[in-house]
Amino acid sequence: MSSPSPRAPLADRIEELLAPGGPLPIVAAGDPVLRAGTVRYDGQLGPALLARFVEALRVTMHAAPGVGLAAPQVGVELRIAVIEDPAPVPEEVRVARGRVPQPFRVLVNPSYEPVGSAPAAFFEGCLSVPGYQAVVTRHAEVRLTGEDEHGRPLDEVFGGWPARIVQHETDHLDGMLYLDRAELRSLSANETVLERWAQPTPAVAARALNFELP
């Protein structure tokens, strides 16, 4: 299914996008909307339509499944993303990656800045780049500012895997894909990651594929 016509007013395009119901189609890498950046949300949809759009993002994220989804990934150039992570991982993975459960959150007009901590590198993937993962070095801790879906201020420090999620989704809103930050020698099919690189850290992959970790 194609995205709504970019020539229609934004609210009309989102109404068209939501009309079929159910999960929204996810835009794949190569679509210009993923590289165009976004505009700040400033009430363009109105409360009712915004709530419907946020719910559609939540349903789509769950169906994919994923732990985050940004508006450009469904063809909408608004600075809005959602995150949620039940973190069903073994204890050794939780400890190594700092992966702890995150409740459903809506990020409106988010931006982040690093907090003084060492960088962290792990495999990560993207719903808009299906089938592959690569090692990405990111800030281990960030301060995220913005608003929630009700316009309430957001100013929170995220660490570990939650910090990775909010950086990944905020990057989408700036027209960036995780591959822009990835160590390309680590690029692996999902099946290979499961078979060879499922360790809590990418150290074994780095030695075998000859790339450096921070």
From 169, 183, 195, 212, the catalytic residue: 169
89: Cα separation from own chain's centroid? 19
- Consult the annotation and say whether 139 binds a ligand: no
Helices first, then strands: H and E counts in the chain:
6, 8
Question: How many CA atoms, within 13 angstroms, populate the side-chain half-sphere of residue 190?
Answer: 7
- Consult the annotation and say whether 126 binds a ligand: yes
Q: Is 169 a catalytic residue?
A: yes
Among the residues of the chain, which ranges form H helices? 10-18, 46-63, 91-97, 160-173, 190-196, 203-209
Backbone dihedral region for residue 91 (phi beyond 0: left; psi -120 to 50: alpha; all else: beta): alpha
Maximal CA-CA distance, the chain: 52
- Consult the annotation and say whether 172 binds a ligand: yes
State the catalytic residues.
Answer: 169
Annotated binding site: 126, 168, 172
- Binding region for Fe cation: 126, 168, 172
